[in-house]
Structure 1
Amino acid sequence: MLMEAKPTPGVSLYLPTHVRGAETRQDPIRLKNLIAEARQSLESAGLKPRETDAILDPAVALVEDNDFWQHQDIGLALFLGDAQTHTYKVPIAFDQKVAVGPAFHVTPLLPLLAADGAFHVLTITAQSVRLFEASRFSMVEDDAAGLPGSVDEVSGQPDYENPLQASPVGRPHTGAINITKSQVSGESPEDWRKANTVEFVHRIAVELERHLARHRLPVVLIADAEIQGHFQKLSDLGPLLAGVVETNPESRDVNALHAAAYDVVRPMFEEGRRRAVDHLAALLGSGEAHATLDAGEIVKAAHLGRIETLMLAEGAELRGRFDEATGKVTMGGEDAAERQNLLDGVAAQVLRHGGAITIVTPEEMPNGAAAAAVLRF
């Protein structure tokens, strides 16, 4: 939605924020300073004070909204224009930035959409099962997974009972009560518990595999040693089970669980990014026409749907203008229409045409380029 918007003009504000503590007091001051910078840019572009106020007033109101600042993530992005305000609290620590132009500046958000870094986190205890959709930044619980909620749901009986070993007074009437085979045979409480745990974990494995059928993403399991052992024996996930964290998940908060899980998948994702960089370097080294570092060619190829993989350096920008009617790319420029970040439009076109985006460090990019592309044709 942000990529498709054509505000006249639009203001994009990025700032780092704090979740708690005395440092939260700095955040509204940062926003106030960014608003002042945006106001200057808008007035320099020829807007009247009344027009500038109409765009910036929603952000001005947030400066004095104390409750708003008490519920933040580590980054805040605001998009203002065409009588609309879009506010996003995100798990990315932005540098402070103001962008004013005919489109919203969205590339700082692209790490959230990058092709690498998506995985699932599964936590299991006898009392609770949770599945999370995760990235390298955060994770959110998936409430639609349909997994069993606890071992009691599977056993249908919360407590172990052995009516045949009970005293005559304490022995329940058996005529109208359904007693499990294990109880009648005198199975021990520990054997009964193990059998129900195995069935519980088996049900989880089956439902998880069904849930993941359409989105084959890696899974990190967080559970104690016993449950982990059962899951690895009963699951058919194979290589999709990226690894395990042996701990009681109820002893940690969500942030700690995410950090532990990402440590498991980090090497895999870093290897994926390394392979992408190596593949690009090999194509460039061979003179292969299906790879390019040329900024103008990348801009034009994106609008033609030719980019299979777009690789961007973190924080990269390409300032200029693209004329869709003529296909002409002009780099640089002084007026407001030419100061837009061309990578915003490139990223939008790549995603619209089903391409992938990979974010790498500036040091990983060949020749220090801001962007590179592997082309379909």
Structure 2
Amino acid sequence: MTVEDLAKLTPSGYPAVSLLMPTHRTAPDNQQDPIRLRNLLAETRRRLELDETVPHEVAAEVYDEIAAAADRVDLRHTGEGLALFASPGQVHVRMLESPVQERVVIADTYEVRDVVADAARRHRYWALVLSEQPTRLWSGDGPDLVEVTSHGFPFTHEGPGGLLGLPRDYGQEPSKHERERHRQFFRDIATALGAIDKLDSRPVFVLGVERYLSHFAEAWQRPIAGTVTGNYDHAGAHDVYQLLAPRLAAYTAMEQVAALEALDAARGANRFAAGLPEVWSLAHQGRGAHLLVEEGYHSPAWVHEDHLHPPNQEPHTETAGVLLDDAVDDIVEWVARQGGDVTFVGDDSLAADGRIALIVRY
């Protein structure tokens, strides 16, 4: 799912259960994770059964869905957090690279703020490993890669010059025929990748020998985020990520520079906002075109009558305020929900802007 998809994740109906818990990457800390998950599932069951507005059979169905999803999670290989969402006939699982506050929420909507912010901090991309036997496409989400098996992938070169070998008829030039078959093979790959990228546009990284990279670049005719030269026919998900890690870091740095330059242009045109209260207000109005946030910036805040107040200034009025545990993540969710872009930049990059800034639509 894209960041915007996560922000707009909608339950099928009531009850919408959100289960979030921190996890641990290594032993011995990760030995407590199965116990904590069982306790949260027990809390989920208890609260569903106590909710008088939920028919017994619906409560049982939703609990069974979220419990079954939890059983499929391999807690030996996790990041910093786990999110499970379930409603009647629907369940979603998300492994997180950012820590979350442990909680179970039963409401009309899913508690997606932490998940959206985590997804915005991560970098989704396509990793294309070029080969005749075969070309494979990986869907990358941070360090996690999953092979794509649709739209013809993986592609195997089965025609002349591939599995069938080259024709040897008199008067025919094998090298010329081979070049044309190769070009067609890579045109087919580019067409298939284009169809996938149209559904979910991401930066494209390509791995392969020089000849294959040249053929694909000729067929793709769009910017390639980065390349790795070499033969990686048998590379697995972990190998592909390790090869791409330096290119991903370089691409991220380039994105941050571009975002800061866009902010400078918006500042000159008076189309920007800075500081937590003003950015929060404009984001909730749907005016956020591009949000920039320092990587390490988190801040609780009070919300009262559509205004944001610092965490040490609790409003004392007849109408109670609501304490947000992280107003930054709340802003990220709202901007993403409205189709805006989110870029996390290095700490101190926005020191003059209160560590957060927004390019507005109008």
For normalisation by structure 1, the TM-score amounts to 0.66
Paired residue for 2:322, among 321, 329, 338? 338
- Cα displacement (A) at 1:85: 9.7
**Matched residue, 2:97:** 93
- Cα displacement (A) at 1:82: 8.8
84 and 357 in structure 1: CA distance in 2 versus 1, 3 angstrom threshold: farther
**Matched residue, 1:291:** 272
1:273–1:358 Cα contact (<8 Å) kept = yes
322 and 88 in structure 1: CA distance in 2 versus 1, 3 angstrom threshold: farther
**Which whole-Å CA distance do the structure 1 matches of 2:94 and 2:237 have between them?**
17
**Which whole-Å CA distance do the structure 2 matches of 1:246 and 1:214 have between them?**
28
Q: Which amino acid aligns with 1:319?
A: A
Unaligned runs of 5+ in 1: 40-46, 162-181
Give the secondary-structure state (helix, strand or coil) at the position aligned to 1:251.
coil
1:317–1:342 Cα contact (<8 Å) kept = yes
- Cα displacement (A) at 1:125: 1.7
What CA deviation, in whole Å up to 9, does each residue of 1:115-145 have, x standing for no partner?
Answer: 9844322112221122233343433333333
Paired residue for 2:20, among 9, 13, 21? 13
2:116–2:333 Cα contact (<8 Å) kept = no
**Matched residue, 1:248:** 231
Alignment of 1:71-150 (within 5 A): 72-78=77-83, 88-90=93-95, 92-95=96-99, 97-98=101-102, 106-111=112-117, 113-114=119-120, 117-146=123-152, 149-150=155-156
**Which whole-Å CA distance do the structure 2 matches of 1:208 and 1:80 have between them?**
30
- Cα displacement (A) at 1:257: 0.7
Give the secondary-structure state (helix, strand or coil) at the position aligned to 2:279.
helix
**Which whole-Å CA distance do the structure 2 matches of 1:75 and 1:375 have between them?**
32
1:200 aligned to 2:204? no
2:301–2:308 Cα contact (<8 Å) kept = no
Q: Which amino acid aligns with 2:285?
A: L
For normalisation by structure 2, the TM-score amounts to 0.69
Q: Which amino acid aligns with 2:357?
A: A
**Which whole-Å CA distance do the structure 1 matches of 2:30 and 2:89 have between them?**
26
118 and 35 in structure 1: CA distance in 2 versus 1, 3 angstrom threshold: closer
**Which whole-Å CA distance do the structure 2 matches of 1:7 and 1:295 have between them?**
33
Give the secondary-structure state (helix, strand or coil) at the position aligned to 1:271.
helix
RMSD of aligned alpha carbons: 4.8
What CA deviation, in whole Å up to 9, does each residue of 1:1-34 have, x standing for no partner?
Answer: 776679999876331344x877642423565798
Q: Which amino acid aligns with 1:127?
A: Q
- Cα displacement (A) at 1:254: 0.8
Alignment of 1:362-373 (within 5 A): 362-367=347-352, 369-373=354-358
Q: Which amino acid aligns with 1:338?
A: V
- Cα displacement (A) at 1:150: 0.9
145 and 369 in structure 1: CA distance in 2 versus 1, 3 angstrom threshold: farther
**Which whole-Å CA distance do the structure 2 matches of 1:318 and 1:130 have between them?**
44
Q: Provide the identity percentage.
A: 17
1:310 aligned to 2:296? no
Q: Which amino acid aligns with 1:354?
A: G
Bigger CA radius of gyration: 1
**Which whole-Å CA distance do the structure 1 matches of 2:73 and 2:123 have between them?**
29
368 and 307 in structure 1: CA distance in 2 versus 1, 3 angstrom threshold: closer
**Matched residue, 1:273:** 256
What CA deviation, in whole Å up to 9, does each residue of 1:210-257 have, x standing for no partner?
Answer: 65567664322212333234334x32424x123321233333211221
Paired residue for 1:354, among 329, 339, 342? 339
**Matched residue, 2:3:** none
What CA deviation, in whole Å up to 9, does each residue of 1:268-306 have, x standing for no partner?
Answer: 33122123234435655x6x6422223222222122222
2:126–2:202 Cα contact (<8 Å) kept = yes
- Cα displacement (A) at 1:80: 7.3
7 and 345 in structure 1: CA distance in 2 versus 1, 3 angstrom threshold: farther
Q: Which amino acid aligns with 2:102?
A: V
Give the secondary-structure state (helix, strand or coil) at the position aligned to 1:250.
coil
Give the secondary-structure state (helix, strand or coil) at the position aligned to 2:126.
strand
Unaligned runs of 5+ in 2: 1-5
Give the secondary-structure state (helix, strand or coil) at the position aligned to 1:97.
coil
2:304–2:315 Cα contact (<8 Å) kept = no
What CA deviation, in whole Å up to 9, does each residue of 1:69-91 have, x standing for no partner?
Answer: 4564324323579999966342x
